[in-house]
Structure 1
Amino acid sequence: MRDRNRRLVVDELRRAGLVSRAELARRTGLSRSTVSTLVADLQAQGLVAEREVDGAGPQGGRPPVLLSLERAAGVALGIDFGKRHVRVIVSDLAHTVLADLERPMETEQSAQEGFDAAARLSMQALREAGVEQTDIIGAGMGVPGPIDVASGEVGSSAILPGWVGVRPEQDVSRQLGIPVKAENDANLGALAELTWGAGRGTADFVYIKVSSGIGGGLVLNGQLYTGSGGIAGELGHSMVDEHGPVCRCGNRGCLETVASTRQILELLRPARGSDLTIEEVIAHAREGDRASRRVIGDAGRAIGVVVAQVCNVLNPAKVIVGGDLSAAGDVLLDPLRDEVTRHAVPAAGGNVEIVPGVLGRRAEVLGAAALVLRDVDAFALHPPRDVQQQAG
């Protein structure tokens, strides 16, 4: 019971940033005496600090004393691997981003070369944030492919073929000397939107990442749902055309083969040039270019057919669309909404809110940090240095 109450207090401090003892008791449902005892323990361990805010308190009295998680309590590291980049952030336990760095990565690089690049970038980010490696309580890591729950291996449908069968948690944990948790990048996008973005306060939603691949993350009853084997949310491999092209997963006619940014570029490059980028396609669409609007709209319609089936099964309150193509806004979302309305049962399709994500290209790396931040109470039982030494 004490550990549960501690979790409630730490979680609320993380969400609120600054909060009084009385407000903490109200939000957690604990008695003031219980909150005071738990806060005192956390202060003794250097995990919580008192801060006076500017201005007088009620009836002109002393300025209120508020509580916050202490920077000295440690920091979380978020690492995101994309098809052509690696990105690292450092966040304190109050969800303040202290450093955010990115570097390009060659598609042909091996997994080990990617891990080496991430380690170097992590050290640079720590220096920029002004914290030590021993301050890290853990790292979350996003990988562009499913992670098998039992083995920890990257699955066969990964965007980066050279990563299939790799166990990123073990390799990166060994390299950095800290605990590491790896997760599919679309799941991390969902977790980031739940923690910071368009999913805040929404218990049930579906996140769709539309980039060079298409992935999905499911949040059910306020928790990330990955299924028994970690594969839940692979919407990009839903079949939309049984006679369609062969997908990288080995099946035919997957959603990814008709609606990914890779497919959009393949359709437009013969007429627009081999160096055309998806950012240029989106810009052209916003300027009214018919071809760009057509291919993006077709992608939205294909995604909408799959989303309609998901709505029938899960009945989410929201569908949040992220990834590179989400920058197209209503050029993508309006056709998607039309297909959901058309194909989903009215009670599901008529009530679901379909919105763009608000975190853009930072979604996955923020979600990687959130893997650690949402389990911060597990680390709060030990100072960060102890965690570091145990991991090493």
Structure 2
Amino acid sequence: MNERTDMPPRTAPNQPGFDPGRLSSGPRSAERRAGNREWIAAIVRASPGTTRADLMIETGLSRSTVKTVVAELIADSLLAEEGTGEPDRTGSGRRPALLFPVLPHVALAAVRLGHDRVEVALGDMLAQVTDHLEAEVAPGAAPARSLDVAADLFVRLLARRDPDAPDVDAVVAALPGPIDHDTGTVGSPSVLTAWSGIDVRTELGRRLGRQVHVDNDANLAAWAERLTGVGRDLEDFLYLEVSRGVGAGLVLRGGVYSGHAGYAGEIGHNQVDPMGPLCRCGQHGCVEVMVNAVEILRRLRQVNDAGPDDPRGIADFRDEVSARVLREAGSTLGSVVAATCNVLNPEAVVVGGDLLGAHPAYHEGLAAAIERHTQPVVARGVRVISASVASAPLVGALVRAGHVALGHEYEAESAGRHLPRSSENRLVYRGFLRA
């Protein structure tokens, strides 16, 4: 388990500074008991499957205190125990019970405002999508049009729910651009120009009649992979969202890092060819305009004289000529990713978006470029792997909505300007839904 450094130190009778008076009853004792409850509940939410022995190690609290607090939390339907873990270290051979959080039975909503389509999903506290609608919008459509479409899809989803279904408790929107931490607006006038300065939280919230939180789609997708996908066993990785645009989510020390103002991960606007096509940001030959999913699909259709119209069909191309096109595209992106790897030294590069499940040749080209352009010691430690979460930005938006529903302020709007510790930021989606 991860060591917590944000809680006050606990002293034991055999440690310097132990004060027997702290054990007395009264207001301070009640306050301490309440603090222990909150502390232990937070640890279990962050690390589902925790045992009582784990809690003793994590908190430094005595066996009797942990036992009492856990019993209270179970009695109050805040924790539940199920199954057994590995035999404890005492040699008794007993397998301890595993503790899980009991999650509120509420509905969550996720909205994805993409370059050419809008998606809205309803889900639960397990980050499971329970219903979903999407609609195409013209590339470059006015923001008001996309927001109106999102509102229409949301109303249609609500209308076809069971009348007894819980109300939507939290809404999170994903946008393919950098989000300013302080204002909640698209903060870069050169990326998503039409959206620049628009307060999406207010505009979408007014249309939905609910409070809305917003974040970058690659950051949310990285969260989804970190919590429910291939990133569960990774502390440091770079997530690539390759769709109509190209973005990145940085997972460092187990938490998503979005930079000082929220602009980290704008990998798509690194220039790879000064003589290349004009990018929407005003530069020529950005990696985004060179190897976004739509451009890759165009090349694949060109060499095959046919093929799907949707970039999500790229995975259907499996011939050798297509493999060459994909290998070259992966190499172009890899030349930029390599610089990030040299700086951050990640464990893995996770490829998602419309290229999820693409031909292995794409990964081969990406991996070869990383190996070619990074220091050998860095290259040896980096794996290129495919993302495993479909519609990851939507799932990540449900993850964040779960933060909101549990009353936790999401770190990207408050404390997210520093590197978050994984124990603080792993919202749990292994638990029991409260009936």
What TM-score results when the alignment is normalised by the length of structure 2? 0.72
Partner secondary structure for residue 327 of structure 1:
coil
Contact 1:239–1:252 (CA under 8 A) maintained in structure 2: yes
Contact 2:41–2:101 (CA under 8 A) maintained in structure 1: no
2:261 alignment counterpart: 229
- CA spacing shift, 1:169–1:263, aligned 2, 3 Å: same
Contact 1:85–1:102 (CA under 8 A) maintained in structure 2: no
Match of 1:112 among 141, 144, 161: 144
2:133 alignment counterpart: 102
Gaps of 5+ in 1: 381-392
* Cα distance in structure 1, aligned partners of 2:293 and 2:150: 25
Contact 2:315–2:359 (CA under 8 A) maintained in structure 1: no
Match of 2:279 among 229, 243, 247: 247
Partner secondary structure for residue 355 of structure 2:
helix
1:293 alignment counterpart: 323
1:350 alignment counterpart: 380
1:370 alignment counterpart: 399
2:104 alignment counterpart: 71
* Cα distance in structure 2, aligned partners of 1:26 and 1:228: 36
Alpha-carbon distance, 1:151 to partner: 3.0
- CA spacing shift, 1:376–1:276, aligned 2, 3 Å: closer
1:131 alignment counterpart: 165
- CA spacing shift, 1:42–1:6, aligned 2, 3 Å: farther
* Cα distance in structure 2, aligned partners of 1:379 and 1:43: 23
- Amino acid in structure 2 at the alignment position of 1:366: V
- Amino acid in structure 2 at the alignment position of 1:368: A
Pairing of 1:1-392 with structure 2 (within 5 A): 6=38, 9-10=41-42, 12-13=44-45, 16=48, 22=52, 25=55, 28-29=58-59, 31=61, 33-34=65-66, 36-37=68-69, 40=72, 44=76, 48=78, 50=80, 68-72=101-105, 74-93=106-125, 95-97=126-128, 99-107=130-138, 109-125=141-157, 128=161, 131-133=165-167, 136=169, 138-154=170-186, 155-158=188-191, 162-269=194-301, 272=305, 276-284=309-317, 286=318, 288-290=319-321, 292-360=322-390, 362-374=391-403, 377-379=406-408
Identity %: 30
Name the count of aligned residue pairs. Answer: 362
* Cα distance in structure 2, aligned partners of 1:7 and 1:311: 36
Structure in which a larger fraction of residues adopt helix:
1
* Cα distance in structure 2, aligned partners of 1:353 and 1:363: 20
- Amino acid in structure 1 at the alignment position of 2:311: I
What TM-score results when the alignment is normalised by the length of structure 1? 0.79
Contact 2:127–2:395 (CA under 8 A) maintained in structure 1: no
Contact 1:83–1:105 (CA under 8 A) maintained in structure 2: no
* Cα distance in structure 1, aligned partners of 2:123 and 2:218: 20
* Cα distance in structure 1, aligned partners of 2:401 and 2:54: 22
Contact 2:243–2:293 (CA under 8 A) maintained in structure 1: yes
Compute the RMSD of aligned alpha carbons: 3.5
- CA spacing shift, 1:221–1:379, aligned 2, 3 Å: closer
* Cα distance in structure 1, aligned partners of 2:121 and 2:341: 33
Contact 2:314–2:354 (CA under 8 A) maintained in structure 1: no
Give per-residue Cα distances to partners, 1:229-262, cap 9 Å, x unaligned. Answer: 2111111111111222221111122111221122
Mean CA deviation greater in 141-150 or 275-284: 275-284
* Cα distance in structure 2, aligned partners of 1:164 and 1:69: 40
- CA spacing shift, 1:97–1:344, aligned 2, 3 Å: same
* Cα distance in structure 2, aligned partners of 1:65 and 1:240: 50
Gaps of 5+ in 2: 1-6, 8-33, 85-91, 410-435
Alpha-carbon distance, 1:326 to partner: 3.1
* Cα distance in structure 2, aligned partners of 1:318 and 1:4: 37
